[in-house]
Chain A
Amino acid sequence: MAEKYVGKSIKRNEDRRLLTGNSTFIDDINLPGMLHVAIKRSDFAHAKINKIDVEKAKALPGVVAVYTAEDLGDYWRPGPLQVPPPSVIKGAIFNARPLECIAKHKIRFSGEPVAVVVAENRYIAEDALDLIDLDVEILPYVGDLEKTVAPDAPLIHEDLESNLAADVVQEVGSWEKAVAEADVVVKKRLLVNRVAGAALENRGIVVNWDSNLSLLTVWATTQGPIPMRNSIAKYLGLLENQVRLINPAIGGGFGPKIMSSQIDDVVIPWIAMKLKRPVKWIEDRRENFLATTSERDQLHYAEIALKKDGTILGVKDIFYHNTGAYNPYGMTVPLNTQAHTVSNYRVPNFLTEIKMVFTNQMVVTPVRGAGRPQGVFVMERLLDAAADELGMDKAEIRRINLLQPEDFPLRTGIIGQDFVEGVLDSGNYPYALEQTYEKIEYEKFKKEIQPKARAEGKYKGIGITMFTEGTAVGPYEGCKVLVGVTGKVSVVTAYSNQGQGHYTTFAQIAADNLGVKVTDVDVVTGDSGQWSWGVGAFASRGITLVGTAIHNASLKVREKALNLASKLLETPVDELEMEDGVVRVADMPEKFISLGDLAMRSNPTRGTVEPGMEPGLEAASYYGPPHGATGFGCLAMIVDVDPETGKIKIDRLVVTDDCGQPVNPMVVDGQLHGGLQMGIGEAFYENLVYDDYGQLVTASFMDYLFPQATDMPDKFEIIHSQTKSPLNPLGIKGVGEAGAIAPPACMMQAFEDALGLKDMFITESSINPSKLYHYVQKAKSA
């Protein structure tokens, strides 16, 4: 029996081309006669446009064209609304205001596009930006999450009565009842900061219009190639097959690259058709900070009701969610927050309300974590506050409230981002807690290490937090698997890859079912010319949805190959085995036929294909789960704090994660590493900050602090727990966002533990040495 690949750590198929500079990223695409675009962006956060004077810019040698919203004529229109509102939730209010690709009448955030310059090269295009004169009437800026919905607040969308973008209430049980029965109710006002996806590669698009073939070829860094292809086709009045959308190699996504209603996606294809020349736009880093979407930014009024013994009776969480100037991505993020708030614990009564508000800031759409970290931050902080109140140990209060293995599957009663009621499919939360607790030597730390360190004047603290990660939501993904005449296997999907290792993990699944070497499986992602059905890379769903589709499709191909071989070898199927690239008769090694020959024979040039037989060793398959598969874990950290300077060091980090059956454990670890890095970044380094006038003051890596190697712990100590998902044949769950969820909650708990000040409680998900210093001063003076 040949070795199986699924479950094994193997080197990635894609590494060689990436390591040798042979991958083609968006800016590596150069076409003859290609023009270059630069975008004029508003410096103002909120303003009425009087006039945009582009004449000087047009006159600059090398400038081919300059366009404003006026020049787009009827082509200018808001939208598309990428994600619809959750109609299934009773009483939900949602005021849809999709993105305006380019500002026409008014400007709603600083960085919003107002004009597009097309020139012979990027340098000239940027010279022309300086020559565009934007005449506006400045309007008052609205940025505060609470004040923006005050009755007297200036309106961002004048046709609405207020800046309320959405309001969704969900309740399980009765919060009132919980309070009535409670011994204690703890209340906290908790702030979650705003972070950028900050992929190392910025966004970009290259478009070529072939008027002879009536074929528009689009290379784009999108995480959702098919929806973007469809929206471009609709906008330009083309058929789907007249638009070929190709993902080049993509230098990281992390969420924001899912957006496909921004100026580049909508206007640049139009320009390429209008000018009949290839057009390229490459976003620069400042633009990426100013105008590519980002996430988090919530304000929570949270309460938890408990019995004296620490048993949770209920949780209430009313929160403001900043959606920025528009809400093109529906309610994905705040619904994820609602779905993840209590999900590790037995909480009989849970009341949660989203108040989504418009502000004069860049639009909010998912960034790795996508609402989950907010919910987990709120719940874990509430538990810490409750533990302090009740004089309980932080691990203990979690232990006694965790869901137990027999509770699964569990209907949560909360509608999630996929518009279905959440079901926790499987899990073993106590295992995750205890494994982590043991590995980090929680008790030893508390009893020996911490006191000893303190005696030496060192301030060390421990934090331990739980998290769940709802993954692998619908609607569906699909693929096509083909055994080629060379015997090599082709797997084609429209899923988008940004470094997750799909060229290897997808290949591992196909290779196992078809008995070929993993290096003989070629994976194509994100090319609508080769496979044109799919949704996109979000919600940690790739390996589960596409992987399952590949599993099913490759089994169909296997069956076809065996049936054909059975005829050709005149042997019943159950006496055949398929491995090493051939189908052979069991215990008759010399009697075999190679997959390549079978593929050739599967498309006969004469004779007839019998009824019931399909030509070709090819099959397509789709997979759509009824609901998501929920991963989970426990994160613990030991930190060292210098109370004089607020400087910190992470001495140890232990995480137990359960993503069901790992396809490639090495890749799973890689996903956890990256997620943890972003979570640590959010907690102590990264922060998008707007000033009192709506100016983003962190639009460079000078002020937006990207986590560096020396900011990370020496080792991410990972424990794998495996609770297979009952939802799919391989038992897989996603893991892409797991690492990014718990670090803020875990680190704040650890800082407090290190400093050991009775009245110190950190109420924000992101702090820095200065803030830490002030928390200490405040607690000391209290």
Chain B
Amino acid sequence: MTQKVKVAITVNGTLYEREVEPRLLLSDFIRHELGLKGTHVGCEHGLCGACTVLIDGHTARSCTLFTVMVDGSDIKTVESLGTMEEMHPIQEAFSEVHALQCGFCTPGFLMTTVEFLEGNPNPTAEEAREAIDGNFCRCTGYENIVEAVQLAAKKMAAH
């Protein structure tokens, strides 16, 4: 008889109450229990950053957390940013300077950028590069992502 644990987790403003196996990874909970497929899984050992989400306002790898560990937390995923019709300034910036190609790693970069710009609304290129160092991208060589982070800062300041 597999143990199930009650959790109450708020994701993108909606409270979800579920019974989950203790071993269920947060990334699987978000993707397969809640159907929020924007959060991607790239390595499942906490290094690539594709699964990065915000937990109570702070970035974390959702693949190296058990869902039960974040019971009662407030989680934000890429779906909490803009929509197809109206994108978030960070998303606009990524599109404008071609900071994504296959787009698989992108949601992780976006969430990392959200937290970073809150703490540093006007970053230098060097600061922006360091901020995204914990997210892997195989397509872009990072140059355009660094540029996008800085452009996003300008756009958000203008808002």
Question: CB atoms of A and B under 8 A apart anywhere in the complex?
Answer: yes
Contact B23 A708, beta carbon cutoff 8 Å? no
Contact A21 B129, beta carbon cutoff 8 Å? no
Contact B84 A201, beta carbon cutoff 8 Å? no
| Complex partner residue of B142 from A16, A18, A677, CB under 8 angstroms | A677
Contact A710 B103, beta carbon cutoff 8 Å? no
Which B residues between 52 and 67 are near A, CB-CB below 8 angstroms?
none
Contact B45 A700, beta carbon cutoff 8 Å? yes
The residue on B at minimum CB distance from A197 is B138
Collect the chain A residues with CB atoms within 8 Å of residue B50's CB: 200
Collect the chain B residues with CB atoms within 8 Å of residue A200's CB: 40, 42, 48, 50, 102, 104-105, 136-138
Which A residues between 718 and 756 are near B, CB-CB below 8 angstroms?
739
What is the CA–CA distance of A388 and B96 in the complex, to the nearest angstrom?
46
What is the CA–CA distance of A78 and B59 in the complex, to the nearest angstrom?
47
The residue on B at minimum CB distance from A17 is B84
Collect the chain A residues with CB atoms within 8 Å of residue B24's CB: 123
Contact B101 A702, beta carbon cutoff 8 Å? no
Q: A712 and B143 in contact (CB under 8 A), knowing A11-B96, A706-B136?
A: yes
Contact A677 B141, beta carbon cutoff 8 Å? yes
What is the CA–CA distance of A401 and B10 in the complex, to the nearest angstrom?
66
CB of B71 within 8 Å of the partner chain = no
Contact A708 B42, beta carbon cutoff 8 Å? no
Collect the chain B residues with CB atoms within 8 Å of residue A19's CB: 78, 82, 87, 91, 94-95, 100, 103, 106, 110
CB of B11 within 8 Å of the partner chain = no
Which A residues between 1 and 42 are near B, CB-CB below 8 angstroms?
11-12, 14-25, 27-28, 30
Collect the chain A residues with CB atoms within 8 Å of residue B19's CB: none
Q: A20 and B146 in contact (CB under 8 A), knowing A27-B31, A199-B102, A677-B141?
A: no
Contact B143 A673, beta carbon cutoff 8 Å? yes
CB of B77 within 8 Å of the partner chain = yes
| Complex partner residue of A25 from B40, B48, B133, B140, CB under 8 angstroms | B40
| Complex partner residue of A708 from B78, B94, B101, B136, CB under 8 angstroms | B136
| Complex partner residue of B43 from A27, A701, A712, A739, CB under 8 angstroms | A701
Looking at A11, A18, A250, A702, which has the most chain B CB atoms within 10 Å of its CB? Answer: A18
Collect the chain B residues with CB atoms within 8 Å of residue A702's CB: 45, 47
Q: A14 and B103 in contact (CB under 8 A), knowing A200-B48, A251-B40?
A: yes
Contact B42 A25, beta carbon cutoff 8 Å? no
CB of A235 within 8 Å of the partner chain = no
The residue on B at minimum CB distance from A701 is B47
Looking at B44, B126, B143, which has the most chain A CB atoms within 10 Å of its CB? Answer: B143
Which B residues between 106 and 158 are near A, CB-CB below 8 angstroms?
106-107, 110, 125-126, 129-130, 132-146
Looking at A20, A24, A500, A666, which has the most chain B CB atoms within 10 Å of its CB? Answer: A20
CB distance from A121 to the nearest CB of B (A): 9
What is the CA–CA distance of A678 and B44 in the complex, to the nearest angstrom?
22
Contact A20 B104, beta carbon cutoff 8 Å? no
What is the CA–CA distance of A24 and B84 in the complex, to the nearest angstrom?
14
What is the CA–CA distance of A199 and B138 in the complex, to the nearest angstrom?
6
Contact B103 A198, beta carbon cutoff 8 Å? no
CB of B17 within 8 Å of the partner chain = no
Count of A interface residues, CB-CB < 8 Å: 55
Which DSSP category, helix, strand, loop or mixed, fits chain B's interface?
A: loop
Contact B136 A201, beta carbon cutoff 8 Å? no
What is the CA–CA distance of A714 and B32 in the complex, to the nearest angstrom?
38
CB distance from A698 to the nearest CB of B (A): 13
Collect the chain A residues with CB atoms within 8 Å of residue B68's CB: none
CB of B3 within 8 Å of the partner chain = no
The residue on A at minimum CB distance from B108 is A200
The residue on B at minimum CB distance from A249 is B103
Which B residues between 65 and 85 are near A, CB-CB below 8 angstroms?
77-79, 81-84
CB of A623 within 8 Å of the partner chain = no
CB distance from A468 to the nearest CB of B (A): 21
CB of A709 within 8 Å of the partner chain = yes
CB of B41 within 8 Å of the partner chain = yes
Count of B interface residues, CB-CB < 8 Å: 60
Contact B45 A715, beta carbon cutoff 8 Å? no
Q: A20 and B133 in contact (CB under 8 A), knowing A12-B98, A25-B40?
A: no
Which DSSP category, helix, strand, loop or mixed, fits chain A's interface?
A: loop
Contact A673 B95, beta carbon cutoff 8 Å? no
Contact A709 B103, beta carbon cutoff 8 Å? no
CB distance from B39 to the nearest CB of A (A): 8
Contact B144 A30, beta carbon cutoff 8 Å? no
Q: A21 and B37 in contact (CB under 8 A), knowing A200-B105, A251-B102, A498-B102?
A: yes
Which A residues between 456 and 474 are near B, CB-CB below 8 angstroms?
none
Collect the chain A residues with CB atoms within 8 Å of residue B130's CB: 709-710
What is the CA–CA distance of A250 and B104 in the complex, to the nearest angstrom?
8
Contact B103 A499, beta carbon cutoff 8 Å? yes
| Complex partner residue of B37 from A24, A252, A669, CB under 8 angstroms | A24
What is the CA–CA distance of A202 and B63 in the complex, to the nearest angstrom?
15
Contact A673 B91, beta carbon cutoff 8 Å? no
What is the CA–CA distance of A18 and B132 in the complex, to the nearest angstrom?
18
CB of B36 within 8 Å of the partner chain = yes
Collect the chain B residues with CB atoms within 8 Å of residue A11's CB: 95-96, 98
The residue on A at minimum CB distance from B110 is A19
Q: A670 and B101 in contact (CB under 8 A), knowing A27-B41, A284-B44, A285-B44?
A: yes
Collect the chain B residues with CB atoms within 8 Å of residue A123's CB: 21, 23-24
Q: A23 and B139 in contact (CB under 8 A), knowing A17-B84, A702-B45, A709-B146?
A: no
Looking at A16, A17, A500, A709, which has the most chain B CB atoms within 10 Å of its CB? Answer: A709
What is the CA–CA distance of A701 and B49 in the complex, to the nearest angstrom?
12
What is the CA–CA distance of A729 and B129 in the complex, to the nearest angstrom?
41
What is the CA–CA distance of A700 and B44 in the complex, to the nearest angstrom?
10
Collect the chain A residues with CB atoms within 8 Å of residue B41's CB: 27
Collect the chain B residues with CB atoms within 8 Å of residue A284's CB: 44
CB of A578 within 8 Å of the partner chain = no
Contact A676 B79, beta carbon cutoff 8 Å? no
CB distance from A78 to the nearest CB of B (A): 31
Collect the chain A residues with CB atoms within 8 Å of residue B42's CB: 200-202, 251, 285
Contact B77 A701, beta carbon cutoff 8 Å? no
What is the CA–CA distance of A409 and B40 in the complex, to the nearest angstrom?
47
Looking at A15, A252, A499, which has the most chain B CB atoms within 10 Å of its CB? Answer: A15
Interface string of A653-692 (1 = CB under 8 A from B): 0000000000000110110011011100000000000000
Contact A15 B100, beta carbon cutoff 8 Å? yes
What is the CA–CA distance of A21 and B145 in the complex, to the nearest angstrom?
17
Collect the chain A residues with CB atoms within 8 Å of residue B104's CB: 25, 199-201, 249, 251-252, 499
Known: A198-B138, A678-B138. 6 other contacts (CB 8 A): A19-B87, A21-B38, A25-B104, A28-B31, A123-B21, A252-B102
Chain B residues proximal to chain A, CB less than 8 Å: 21, 23-24, 31-32, 35-45, 47-48, 50, 77-79, 81-84, 87, 91, 94-96, 98, 100-107, 110, 125-126, 129-130, 132-146
15 A-B pairs, CB-CB below 8 angstroms? A12-B98, A19-B78, A20-B81, A201-B42, A202-B42, A250-B102, A499-B139, A500-B101, A673-B144, A674-B141, A706-B138, A708-B136, A712-B142, A716-B141, A739-B141
The 4 closest A-B pairs by CB, nearest first: A21-B38, A499-B102, A251-B104, A18-B103
